[in-house]
Amino acid sequence: MVTGYSASRSVSHNMVTTQFEIDGFHVTRTLGVVRGIVVRSRSIFGTIGAGLQTLVGGNITLLTNLCEKTRQEAFELMLQHAAELGANAVVGARYDATEIMQGVTEVLAYGTAVFVEPTK
């Protein structure tokens, strides 16, 4: 379960874009920057498994799955944060990642929370 913001409300996934506008809608209120942050470390078993996968080459699925799960959690936290501010959309959505220490990475999803209405 994602923690940090109320799980009862969230912005719909189809109302999030990397653009600064959503086709068919106009922004009536800009509510500010929203973010979702997840700090994740690899388990010893994941590290060993990923190390073994590097021996044969190709996609390292253990790490791919870990990255995807972490990004999804950060994204959901961002949407919950936006809903807490009263937004129904997020524009300019982005991801960032920073290695805090060896084997520990912060993943940040961020954007601008907005309230939009259909264009007439």
Over residues 18-73, the pLDDT tens digits come to 999 999 999 999 999 999 999 987 655 555 555 555 666 666 676 778 889 999 99
pTM over 0.85: no
- Closest of 24, 53, 36 to residue 95, by C-alpha: 36
Q: Domain 13-118: state its class.
A: alpha beta
Q: Which two tokens stand for residue 85?
A: 């501010």
As a whole number of Å, the CA-based R_g of the chain is 17
Give the pLDDT of residue 119: 95
Q: Which residue has the higher pLDDT, 51 or 14?
A: 14
